Amino acid sequence: MGAVAPVPSEPADETERIVELEAEVDQLKRAVYSHAVVDQAIGMIVALGRVAPDQGWAVLKEVSQHTNIKLRHVAELILIWGREGEMPAEIRVELEEALERYGPTQIPGSAKE
Protein backbone atom coordinates (compact mmCIF):
# COMPACT_ATOMS: atom_id res chain seq x y z
CA MET A 1 0.00 0.00 0.00
CA GLY A 2 1.30 3.41 -0.97
CA ALA A 3 1.40 6.55 1.10
CA VAL A 4 -1.96 8.24 1.63
CA ALA A 5 -2.08 11.77 0.30
CA PRO A 6 -2.96 14.29 2.98
CA VAL A 7 -6.50 15.62 2.78
CA PRO A 8 -6.40 19.36 2.24
CA SER A 9 -8.14 21.21 4.99
CA GLU A 10 -8.76 24.86 5.58
CA PRO A 11 -6.78 26.15 8.53
CA ALA A 12 -8.83 27.70 11.31
CA ASP A 13 -7.14 31.08 10.87
CA GLU A 14 -8.35 31.26 7.24
CA THR A 15 -11.90 30.52 8.36
CA GLU A 16 -11.67 33.27 10.96
CA ARG A 17 -10.32 35.66 8.34
CA ILE A 18 -13.23 34.86 6.00
CA VAL A 19 -15.71 35.54 8.80
CA GLU A 20 -13.93 38.83 9.59
CA LEU A 21 -13.99 39.86 5.92
CA GLU A 22 -17.69 39.03 5.60
CA ALA A 23 -18.41 41.17 8.66
CA GLU A 24 -16.34 44.00 7.19
CA VAL A 25 -18.23 43.77 3.88
CA ASP A 26 -21.55 43.95 5.75
CA GLN A 27 -20.33 46.99 7.69
CA LEU A 28 -19.20 48.71 4.48
CA LYS A 29 -22.57 48.00 2.84
CA ARG A 30 -24.35 49.63 5.80
CA ALA A 31 -21.99 52.61 5.63
CA VAL A 32 -22.60 53.10 1.89
CA TYR A 33 -26.37 52.92 2.42
CA SER A 34 -26.21 55.33 5.36
CA HIS A 35 -24.05 57.76 3.38
CA ALA A 36 -26.50 57.68 0.47
CA VAL A 37 -29.47 58.37 2.77
CA VAL A 38 -27.66 61.30 4.40
CA ASP A 39 -26.62 62.73 1.01
CA GLN A 40 -30.19 62.50 -0.30
CA ALA A 41 -31.58 64.23 2.78
CA ILE A 42 -28.98 67.00 2.45
CA GLY A 43 -30.07 67.37 -1.18
CA MET A 44 -33.67 67.84 -0.09
CA ILE A 45 -32.65 70.40 2.52
CA VAL A 46 -30.54 72.25 -0.05
CA ALA A 47 -33.34 72.34 -2.62
CA LEU A 48 -36.23 73.14 -0.30
CA GLY A 49 -34.37 75.38 2.13
CA ARG A 50 -32.40 77.20 -0.57
CA VAL A 51 -29.14 76.72 1.28
CA ALA A 52 -25.67 75.66 0.20
CA PRO A 53 -24.69 71.98 0.61
CA ASP A 54 -22.45 72.72 3.60
CA GLN A 55 -25.36 74.55 5.23
CA GLY A 56 -27.64 71.58 4.43
CA TRP A 57 -25.18 69.35 6.28
CA ALA A 58 -25.14 71.79 9.23
CA VAL A 59 -28.96 71.88 9.30
CA LEU A 60 -29.15 68.07 9.31
CA LYS A 61 -26.59 67.85 12.13
CA GLU A 62 -28.41 70.46 14.20
CA VAL A 63 -31.77 68.72 13.81
CA SER A 64 -30.14 65.47 14.89
CA GLN A 65 -28.45 67.06 17.90
CA HIS A 66 -31.48 69.06 19.04
CA THR A 67 -33.85 66.08 18.79
CA ASN A 68 -31.32 63.57 20.14
CA ILE A 69 -32.08 61.31 17.16
CA LYS A 70 -29.27 59.69 15.20
CA LEU A 71 -28.35 61.65 12.10
CA ARG A 72 -29.04 58.75 9.73
CA HIS A 73 -32.51 58.29 11.23
CA VAL A 74 -33.29 62.02 10.87
CA ALA A 75 -32.16 61.75 7.24
CA GLU A 76 -34.48 58.75 6.73
CA LEU A 77 -37.39 60.70 8.23
CA ILE A 78 -36.69 63.61 5.88
CA LEU A 79 -36.71 61.24 2.89
CA ILE A 80 -39.99 59.69 4.05
CA TRP A 81 -41.40 63.20 4.35
CA GLY A 82 -40.31 63.87 0.75
CA ARG A 83 -42.10 60.72 -0.47
CA GLU A 84 -45.18 60.71 1.74
CA GLY A 85 -45.53 64.28 3.01
CA GLU A 86 -45.46 63.27 6.67
CA MET A 87 -42.88 64.26 9.25
CA PRO A 88 -42.87 63.97 13.04
CA ALA A 89 -43.70 67.37 14.55
CA GLU A 90 -40.49 67.41 16.60
CA ILE A 91 -38.38 67.04 13.45
CA ARG A 92 -40.43 69.62 11.53
CA VAL A 93 -40.01 72.25 14.28
CA GLU A 94 -36.26 71.70 14.53
CA LEU A 95 -35.88 71.68 10.75
CA GLU A 96 -37.79 74.95 10.43
CA GLU A 97 -35.73 76.56 13.19
CA ALA A 98 -32.43 75.41 11.69
CA LEU A 99 -33.47 76.64 8.25
CA GLU A 100 -34.38 80.01 9.73
CA ARG A 101 -30.79 80.27 10.95
CA TYR A 102 -29.26 79.17 7.63
CA GLY A 103 -31.73 79.87 4.87
CA PRO A 104 -34.13 82.45 3.49
CA THR A 105 -37.36 80.42 3.39
CA GLN A 106 -39.60 78.07 5.35
CA ILE A 107 -40.12 74.48 4.32
CA PRO A 108 -43.19 73.90 2.15
CA GLY A 109 -46.36 73.09 4.06
CA SER A 110 -45.19 74.66 7.31
CA ALA A 111 -47.65 76.56 9.48
CA LYS A 112 -45.63 79.79 9.11
CA GLU A 113 -46.35 80.20 5.38
Give the model's pLDDT for residue 92: 94
pLDDT tens digits for 67-103? 999 999 999 999 999 999 999 999 999 999 999 888 7
Q: Based on the number of CB atoms within 10 Å of its own CB, is 40 exposed (0-12), middle (13-18) or buried (19 or more)?
A: middle
By the 8 A CB rule, do 97 and 112 touch?
no
Give the model's pLDDT for residue 76: 95
Give the model's pLDDT for residue 113: 45
∠ Cα 13 19 24 (to 5°): 125
CA–CA separation, 51 and 46 (whole Å): 5
pLDDT tens digits for 25-69? 989 888 888 889 999 999 999 998 899 999 999 999 999 999 999
Residue 19 has pLDDT above 70, yes or no: yes
Q: What string of DSSP letters covers 53-69?
A: HHHHHHHHHHHHHHHT-
Which among 102, 80, 106, 83 is positioned nearest to 93, based on CA atoms? 106
Give the model's pLDDT for residue 102: 87
